[in-house]
Amino acid sequence: MGEKRRFHLGAFIQATGHHVSAWRHPEAQIDAGLNFLHYWEITRTAERGLLDAVFLADSPGIWGGTPETQKRNGKLAHFEPVTLFSALSSVTKNIGFIATASTTYEDPYNLARKFASLDYLSNGRAGWNVVTTGNENAAANFGLEYHPEHSQRYERAEEFVEVVKGLWDSWEDDAFIRDRESGIYFDPDKLHILNHQGKYFSVKGPLNVGRPPQGYPVIVQAGASEAGRELAARTAEVIFTANQTLSDAQEFYSDIKGRLGKYGRSFEDLKIMPGAFPVIGRTEEEAQEKYEFIQSLIHPDVAWGILKTYYKGVDLSGYSLDDIAPELPSETNSNKSRLKLVQDLASRGSLTLRQLYLALATARGHRTIIGTPESIADQLEEWFNNGAADGFNIMPPILPSGLDDFVDLVVPILQKRGLFRTEYEGSTLRENLGLRRPPNQFAVRVDSPALVLA
């Protein structure tokens, strides 16, 4: 009989917390975005809770909105993730670090170099969250008049990831001989020049960093559009997804897992981890009070700003917040999968505009769970045991207290049920996630003539 399947858990950390008005909460670290000691504290909490990784979303530009909404946004200023994680890796031992970086607005060589460096600095604990960037404001920061089209961004991303993997394979694992007596530093037969020529990139190589300790930093992806699902099935090892219902999560899980075979991949090569926004109270009443208090912190300007994010091109001036939400736009050049999720959310419950913004203010379409530690654990276990998740990306409403609550109150219950580890399985992020270490693609070709002919 095989070993019991167990959760994987990540801490999705977002400055003061995930709630849109988290910075106004008295328990929030108000300057969190630019406070290294804050990130150190919550990373140590995640490691104390034996979580797989901490994860930072990122965008190469501030998110839009009117001056009224922007001046009320506590999340506009924050550290660049790889820089922050390089520092945090030196004061931690086991926790993984998953940083977001854009295939639309970054360069493959520089990205491959900095993530390989992070993997070395952390002794094999780095992960790359591959995004094509939904933030249309980013374009002007890179000399572009328009944000590239969704389909073009994903086509570029496919080539980008392959280039980065090729650069990570520039050196074989044992290429560096460092023989003082002979004076030979590396074996030239184990150095591979990429010489990539493609539609979007021309990259010679090699990378001037050795092959990362994990082979490749763990590849993470979050898109759920058709293009995003296909990219994930081909390249991702972890998916952070947003689902509201068990049936939606099951559909996504079975669809993605079902695509793996055509790329020669198995179910275990990909972990699917939906986002979960837990509001935890020692009683159900306390949890509900916490939820209602944080929702009360939303300023009306912010409420309308949330709605206008999704109702682009729609005039809402004739509506009140208590009117039934009108039909949302059918298309966007920003985040297609998130728009679809919001469309489903609005139509499923015939929500008013007030109910819609309150639902989005917490976790932007991810699942909100309110209850006692036991009921939170029950709801996570239900998805885990019914073909909807391999684990969860925990999104604390407020930081640092929200992560403290989850680690101190929920994790022990999951451990007692045999659903979560009581010690780390390995020293690298791959080992703790149960992911294989990829072979060097060029070394395999050299050693296997049949592959060269193919």
The pLDDT confidence band at residue 73, using thresholds 50, 70 and 90, is confident
CA distances from 73 to 63, 64, 69 (A): 10, 10, 7
Binding-site residues from annotation: 58, 100, 150, 154, 225
Name residue 49's amino acid.
G
Residues 6+ away with beta carbon under 8 Å from 312 = 329, 332, 334
Helix (H, G, I), strand (E, B) or coil at 99: strand
Q: What is the pTM of this model?
A: 0.91
- Phi/psi for 391 (5° steps) reads 165, -165
End-to-end CA distance of the chain: 39
Tokens of 38: 């804050």
Q: Which residue has the tokens 């977001």?
A: 100
User: In this structure, what are the phi and psi dihedrals at residue 154, rounded to the nearest 5 degrees?
Assistant: -75, -35
- Tell me the CA distances in angstroms from 274 to 7, 53, 180, 452, one per residue in order: 12, 14, 51, 39
pLDDT at 345 over 50: yes
Distance CA 410, CA 377 (A): 6
The better pLDDT of the pair 6, 65 is held by: 6
Q: Which residue numbers belong to the known binding site for FMN?
A: 58, 100, 150, 154, 225
Tokens of 126: 């780095």
**Can you tell me whether residue 391 is helix, strand or coil?**
strand
Which structure tokens are listed for 439? 């072979």
The torsion region of residue 146 among left (phi > 0), alpha (psi -120 to 50) and beta comes to beta
Which option is the CATH number for 8-284+364-447: 3.40.50.800, 3.40.50.2300, 3.30.70.1380, 3.20.20.30?
3.20.20.30
Q: Which residues of 2-13 are buried (b: 16+ CB within 10 A; e: fewer)?
A: eeeebbbbbbbb
Name residues whose C-beta falls within 8 Å of residue 424's C-beta, 6 or more positions apart in sequence.
Answer: 50, 94, 432
Token pair, residue 146, equals: 């328009």
Asked whether residue 454 carries a pLDDT value surpassing 50, the answer given is: no
Q: Letter for the amino acid at 269?
A: D
Largest CA distance in the chain: 81
- Any bridge partners for residue 240, and if so which? 273
Locate all alpha helices (DSSP H) within 298-410, ordered by sequence.
Answer: 300-310, 336-348, 353-363, 373-385, 401-405
Q: What is the pLDDT of residue 338?
A: 63
The pLDDT value recorded for residue 89 is 98
- Does residue 310 have a pLDDT over 90? no
Residue spans per domain, the chain? 8-284+364-447
Per-residue pLDDT at 453 exceeds 60 = no
Fill in the amino acid letter for 205.
G
Backbone angles phi, psi at 21, to 5 degrees: -115, 30
Is the pLDDT assigned to residue 449 strictly greater than 60? no
Computed over every residue of the chain, the mean pLDDT equals: 91
Instruction: Locate 24 and state its tokens.
Output: 């106004």
- What is the share, in percent, of the chain residues with pLDDT greater than 90? 71
Residue 343 confidence (pLDDT) above 80: no
Going by their DSSP bridges, the two strands 238-241 and 8-12 should be labelled as unpaired
User: Checking DSSP bridges between strand 238-241 and strand 202-203, what pairing results, if any?
Assistant: unpaired
pLDDT at 447 over 60: no
229-249 residue pLDDT tens: 998 999 999 999 989 899 999
| Cα–Cα nearest to 214, from 6, 432, 44 | 432
